[in-house]
Amino acid sequence: MRSYLFVPADSDRKLEKAPGAEADCLLIDLEDSVSYRRKAAGREMAAAFIRSQAENGERARIIVRVNALDSGLTGDDLDAVIASRPDGILLPKSEGGAHVQELDAMIAVREAEAGIAEGSVRIHALVSETAAGVLSARSYIDMSPRLEALAWGGEDLSADLGVETNRDMEGRYTDMFRLARSLTVLGAAAAKVMAVDTVYTDFRDMDGLERECRAAVRDGFSGKMAIHPAQVPVINRVFTPDANAVERSRKIVTLFAEAGDDAGVLSLEGQMIDRPHLRQAERILARAEAAGMSTS
């Protein structure tokens, strides 16, 4: 999945607009973009929205961002939405694999109550919103078969660290935020799940967004979160693998398939190709397939 569009759960207008935004995934938000007073309304609106999309065969995946485990609100959030069968739950302010395990158990109970097959509802975790979260990036390995992606966020981390700003004078993330971003990719790769890049908050600056998308693709992220529908086409375009790279990846996979199990090193167009190239090629083809490109 390339694009993840945040949609505040208590906004009729934005819920109505969201399906037309062409995002691969909608993140229906019950956390930071919904005030405490509006949580109950947001829960009902989120559940109704998911049900309204059930018959839509072309629909985006739908993931609900619940409130953090220490908020005391997570159980009520799940009670309201699981029976309508979201594709997943996004856990904010996750501080490690134990949090994901706890959420896994909370979801399992509600899946059973709703008669939904265990494990249907997946988990995405925001892993860098607190200092403790950043330092726990390694702990997601083998914690829950539901876990599908780790994402990072810089805004809450800024508040937790008490920094004045998270960007330097050239607009680059400062070291602590670059570390959080890098640990998210490393943690995701170690746990064999997707890494998702954080939002670009300046939603009128498409050049800045594009630059950040390119850096994310370069560094191993498979998608990026958005806050505004106008950001989605840019994200989809940059995260769709380039046709030449797909063609070359297909050649590499075919070459290894033809060479059989004993193949170690091969050559393609005058370049050495070995197992790491094969893994890289398989990743590009998986991304191409997820983007709806033909890969055969």
Q: Which residues bind ligand COA (CB under 6 A)?
A: 5-8, 13-14, 17-18, 29, 32-33, 199, 203, 227-229
Q: Which residue is nearest to ligand COA (CB)?
A: 6
Q: Rule CB under 5 A: which of 127-156 touch Mg ion?
A: 156
**Contact partner, 202, from ligand COA, Mg ion, none, Cβ < 5-8 Å per class:** none
Q: Which is nearer to ligand COA, 22 or 113 (CB)?
A: 22
Q: Containing H/E element for 273?
A: strand 271-273
Which residues is 7 bridged to in the sheet? 28
CB of 265 to ligand COA, least distance (A): 46
In this structure, the number of other CB atoms found within 10 A of the CB of residue 221 comes to 24
Determine the Cα angle at 89 with ends 59 and 122, to 5°.
80
CB of 46 to ligand COA, least distance (A): 12
Q: Does 95 bind Mg ion (CB under 5 A)?
A: no
Q: Which is nearer to ligand COA, 9 or 103 (CB)?
A: 9
**CA dist., res. 199 & res. 26, Å (int):** 13
Q: Does 210 bind Mg ion (CB under 5 A)?
A: no
Q: Is 62 helix (H, G, I), strand (E, B) or coil?
A: strand
Q: Rule CB under 5 A: which of 32-61 touch Mg ion?
A: 32
Residues 6+ apart with CB under 8 A from 219: 181, 182, 185
CB of 123 to ligand COA, least distance (A): 18
Q: Which residue is nearest to Mg ion (CB)?
A: 32
Give per-residue burial for 89-107: e unless 16+ CB within 10 Å, then b: bbbbbbbbbebbbbbbebb
Q: Which residues bind Mg ion (CB under 5 A)?
A: 32, 156
